Chains A and B, each alone.
Chain A
Amino acid sequence: MQAHTLSGTVFGLEGMRVEVEADIGQGLPGFHIVGLVDRAVQEARERVKIAINNSGQEFPGQKVTVNLAPAQVRKEGTGFDLAIAAAILSCTVHRPLPKGAAWLGELALDGSVRPIRGILAISAHLDRSGANIFYVPPANVAEARLATSRPVHAVPDLRRLVRYWVDGEPLPDTVLEAGDPSPALTAVDLADVRGHAHAKRALEIAAAGSHHLLFVGPPGSGKTLLARALPGIMPSLEERAALEVTTIASILGGLAPGSGLITEPPFRAPHHSISTAGLIGGGDNTPQPGELSRAHNGVLFLDEINELRRDALEALRQPIEDGRLVVARRHGHAVLPSRFILVAAANPCPCGRYGDQKKPCTCTPPQRQRYQARLSGPIRDRIDLQVSVLRQPAAELLHHADGAESSATVRERVMDARARQRKRRPDGPLNGALTGTQLRRDVHLDAAGQDLLTAAGDRLHLSGRALHRLLRVARTIADLEGAADVAAAHLAEAVQYRESG
């Protein structure tokens, strides 16, 4: 007796189709799984056997062989359990499996089906490669439905699967209700951040044009608080971006059961002791997304960026230049998306007091220089906005009654500015990633603007790259104001976000 069906797994962020074949034949009783499988799949033998026995069925006392094809690709994880059990059960209850059905899920010993990671990516891939009906764990139904418009059935346990086949009893339509649309715990409303007007304006520009941003200030000056306010002024994710973010969360198992599309930009704040693998992503054979991909379409906040290890810092280069990471592993390479707004924070020097007139800094100039130089040129070149953040005097924090704008108000302006950029470049990058050639097309300066740009270049000794940064920021400032072209006033403001020194 033979049965044949579909399942899948993930490699990087891509789904992979796996065919599951079961054969029950003559020979010594036994259960073998072949097809270049790892430990977790080998252990499926015990889970499947016991789950079937605990579901009112009997595991066949014959030679059972399961093959996972293509046999040359390494297969990891526990998501094949349900497909293997379904193939074996279809033989024992003599019911053919529906053609083109895909089975995804991990089995518990009592026969119930547990959620797995990466359902979104796997279903999307199987949908494209011919699967026409999906059987998934109840907790993953919502997720699978994001990826396919074909029927998706929840399989709560093997007992009910058998009843569905044998007695025609429909599978329960148990769609788990998503919990509250996760109230972003990290979000900070701009209205709650006192003072810091200059830094807040920089956040608005960063959100509008997707510019990378550096805060420099002594410890405890509010850099982290400011960074946390950034996702709240960014527009909700468009459908494609939301799908990408949800896929990554799904692969990492970070999706709450039953939850659907993630629509708010992610905020990731790894500690500065993070390893390169933690940033890029680990995984021995198949790449796992790291922090750089988790921050995709959102914000990556690196506090004390100068304390990051050199190799970890260098890992930032590819994502901030290309918006993606190419990761090579033994079984091929994967392209992981990682396009984020980098918010970096740094102390002015190792002791944190440089520039303070009253408490002089105790660092030697070479110490200070080494500290500053840790942020290498190529990374600095991509940081369009630099702002120094002052420690707020205690008095300021106590009585302060300015009508600070709420995040919602700022977000409106940001969305308008994004719409203007989309209109100019429907498929192109946002202002923060414009190249020199693109800038020449998008920025037309009048005589006054041209004069100011020349003067700024001369007086402030700005390099060509610094001038490009200036123009990118000025373009966003003009977009925030709703101006068609960049005027001298926009440039004048942009000058104040330049690099120090």
Chain B
Amino acid sequence: MSVLWRNDPGYPVLLAAIADPPARLFVRGVLPVGPTVAVVGSRQGTPYGQRAAHQLAEDLSNQGIIVVSGLARGIDRAAHEGALTGPTPTVAVLASGLDPIYPPEHVELADRIAVTGALLSEAEDGSLPLPARFPVRNRIISGLSLGVIIVEAAERSGALITARLALEQGREVFCVPGSIENPLTLGPHSLVKDGATLVRTVEDVLAELPEAVRAYARAHARAPAPARADSGPQEPELAAVWELLDWVEPRHHDELAEQLRLDVIEVSRRLTLLEMGNYIIGDRGAVTRSRRRLDK
């Protein structure tokens, strides 16, 4: 662990530019250099929100963009995990001290982040994750980043504070849309109404960033533009099942059997074949289409 002072040469330029940059930062790992985008959201993220955060972070990482998040449960975790799937390091900014890690179940994730990226905190070791520390921490997340992507945030939530701080700091605000029935999309949807950029893919994010960053991303793109599994399987009997599935809303075996007028046994068999082909994600009777790339 090291300490980074405001006048040190390694101090992030973007962060130094905000109105109240932290005088000193505790750093575990190595603070990576490159364009940064924050991905934050609710700790109660739905499976959809977590998949979206994971996917966007992974795609950003594949374009050489450093993903910044808060190591919280839910969306933050999905963002870090997604970023770690790609080649670019990720940065976690903590509200507590760097030791012990909060939340405790993310100790192992923190270890993986620190291998290539960094954990940052303004608070000394042993500092507790007190409620007052979170908004203070959020100004660092947005301050470090060119833009902030909000994935699922309730009204009056920490993620919305981050969005407001980002605007004050002159950074871009991006929002991932969701179901209007989900209260966690109230936050991002009202931000979009107020002019934030709606994000469907990583391209939507890059388009709003400076040309220099786009060029950097093009130069660092490891994977070609992500090909999505948005076309179904070739086999007609598998395609028939896939057609009934949704990207977000899970379906149950019983519903599929009913709609297809098929035996549940046959439905089970087809679902397994679809899972083996990575077309769908099955989770004990909750089946959704898979957005993962086909690795064949």
Contact = CB atoms under 8 A, between A and B. Distances in A.
B107 to A, nearest CB: 14
A267 B144 CA distance: 62
A456 B248 contact: no
A459 interface: yes
A492 B272 contact: yes
Contacts of B267: 198
Nearest to B178: A357
A495 B275 contact: yes
A209 to B, nearest CB: 15
B269 to A, nearest CB: 4
A358 B264 CA distance: 26
Interface in A366-423: 366, 369, 386-390
Interface string A171-204: 0000000000000000000000001111101000
A493 interface: yes
A326 interface: no
B179 A493 contact: no
Interface string B180-197: 011110000000000000
A307 B253 CA distance: 27
A197 B276 CA distance: 23
Interface string B71-111: 00110000000000000000000000000000101000000
B276 A496 contact: no
A334 B275 CA distance: 49
Given A357-B182, A357-B248, A365-B73, A456 B272 contact: yes
A357 B181 contact: yes
Interface in A46-73: none
A198 B254 CA distance: 6
A496 B283 contact: no
A10 interface: no
A328 interface: no
A216 to B, nearest CB: 7
B284 A360 contact: no
B272 A365 contact: no
A216 B73 contact: no
A201 B264 contact: yes
A388 B73 contact: no
A458 to B, nearest CB: 9
A154 B73 CA distance: 72
Contacts of A460: 275
A496 B282 contact: yes
A387 B285 contact: yes
B252 interface: yes
Given A216-B284, A496-B268, A459 B74 contact: no
Given A357-B182, A456-B276, A198 B286 contact: no
Interface of B: 43-44, 46-48, 73-74, 103, 105, 179, 181-184, 248-250, 252-255, 257-258, 264-265, 267-269, 271-273, 275-276, 278, 282-286
Given A198-B253, A365-B74, 20 more contacts: A198-B264, A198-B267, A201-B268, A216-B284, A355-B286, A357-B182, A357-B249, A358-B181, A366-B103, A390-B285, A459-B275, A492-B272, A493-B265, A495-B272, A495-B275, A496-B268, A496-B272, A498-B284, A500-B284, A501-B284
Interface of A: 195-199, 201, 216, 355, 357-358, 360-361, 364-366, 369, 386-390, 452, 455-456, 459-460, 489, 491-493, 495-496, 498-501
* In the A-B complex, the 4 residue pairs with the closest CB atoms: A388-B285, A500-B284, A198-B253, A496-B268
